A and B are shown apart, each in its own frame.
Chain A
């Protein structure tokens, strides 16, 4: 093969691969994406922005964890409010002294209990409200009652359905962590 012909084929092949990679940008990545929703609010008259953050004293305060199905098939996730779903969400917090704290939800006694799931179609997002000052998140509450701002916070979703996948093959299995966000504590 002449060198010039080889060069033409090589360049064309490389460009085709790059082009395909570009088209695949939106399809690659983990099947589930987890993120912590800490939005900032402000005053449009003054053009000022209020800081978002965690509240030490407000028992109704919540943060939101968004769980998005980035795959091409339906995924079932255990719902909160049952013994299967409650432990699937936990947090990892890093305090200013560099210590890393694992913050699972507090195990509850479940009287009537069944493995309820929520089915996420491709592209759908499930919003899980976390009332972090409630008894369900006692370790979270204890940490922010003492913490100096800012905290670095990550949400971790872990699900191991075990043999239940035989009945429900859509049950997702795995562990995925959100990006870390820096949050103020007030």
Chain B
């Protein structure tokens, strides 16, 4: 093999190697369901449960900026931010339920945003027993055991992106997690 060809192929390999994350999405979304246990009896660990009859159940969605530029996302508790998170829940019968935030009446309202610098993570706590997440309760009651859950973040800033060019536009779905419903 000619020397220039070897050098060229080597350089190509180097470039490909250093590009370890080509073309990945700007944002990643994940549902935080952790496992808890006792170090004195570590075999008795359990995954975080979802409760169908509690009054203070919550789960956390992590949204991470995987890009190299700042990204603005509409915050919750506004008519811009509340609808951006939805869930897909698959019950044991194979039916996929779309769970949306039912909040609709906003009195004092403005498009507030949170700015995620590269590498930063925003945690959105979903209080799934509050009335605006009423669909969760229906799905939990139908599940009777386990559900497969995915979070979807979708944002369409429309004309607001001309005022704030950092406003993210797109849709990204988390990996599914299997959760036990009690």
The judgment on whether A and B are partners is yes
Residues of A within 8 A of B (CB): 4, 7-8, 11-12, 14-16, 18-23, 25-26, 35, 37, 39-47, 49, 64, 66, 76, 78-79, 84, 114-121, 124-127, 161, 164, 167-168, 170-171
In the complex formed, the residue of A with least CB distance to B116 is A39
User: Is B54 close to A, CB under 8 A?
Assistant: no
B113 and A42 form a contact (CB under 8 A): yes
Please, could you name 17 A-B residue pairs with CB atoms under 8 Å apart, sorted by A?
A7-B3, A15-B13, A19-B16, A22-B20, A42-B113, A42-B114, A42-B115, A43-B113, A44-B111, A45-B110, A114-B38, A116-B38, A118-B34, A119-B35, A125-B30, A127-B123, A168-B39
Tell me the B129-171 residues at the A interface (CB within 8 Å): 157, 160, 163-164, 167
Q: How near does chain A come to B52, taking the closest CB pair, in angstroms?
A: 23
Among residues of B, the one whose C-beta sits closest to the C-beta of A84 is: B39
User: Chain A residues near B6 (CB, 8 Å)?
Assistant: 8, 11-12
Determine if A15 and B163 form an interchain contact, defined as CB atoms under 8 angstroms apart: no
In the complex, given contacts A11-B3, A42-B164, A116-B38, what are 19 additional A-B residue pairs having Cβ atoms less than 8 angstroms apart?
A8-B3, A12-B6, A16-B10, A21-B17, A26-B20, A37-B123, A44-B112, A44-B163, A45-B110, A45-B111, A49-B115, A116-B39, A117-B38, A117-B42, A124-B34, A126-B34, A127-B60, A127-B123, A164-B39
Determine which of A20, A64, A167 lies in contact with B42 in the assembled complex, contact meaning CB atoms within 8 Å.
A167
Chain B interface category by residue count? 35 or more
Are A118's CB and B42's CB within 8 A? no
B-side contacts of A14, CB under 8 Å = 10
A15 touches B14 (CB 8 A): yes
A16, B110: Cβ atoms closer than 8 Å: no
Residues of A near B20 (CB, < 8 A) are 22-23, 25-26
Measured between alpha carbons, how far is A150 from B22 in the docked complex, in Å?
Answer: 37
Contact A171-B39, Cβ < 8 Å, known A7-B3, A42-B112, A47-B164: yes
CB distance from A90 to the nearest CB of B (A): 20
Q: Are B18 and A22 in contact (CB under 8 A)?
A: yes
Closest 10 CB pairs of A and B: A15-B10, A22-B17, A19-B17, A22-B18, A168-B42, A119-B35, A44-B111, A19-B13, A115-B39, A18-B14
Within 8 A of A (CB), among B23-42: 30, 32, 34-42
Of all chain B residues, the one with the shortest Cβ separation from A165 is: B39
Interchain CB contact under 8 A, A124 and B32:
yes
CB nearest neighbor in B for A161: B39
CB distance from A162 to the nearest CB of B (A): 11
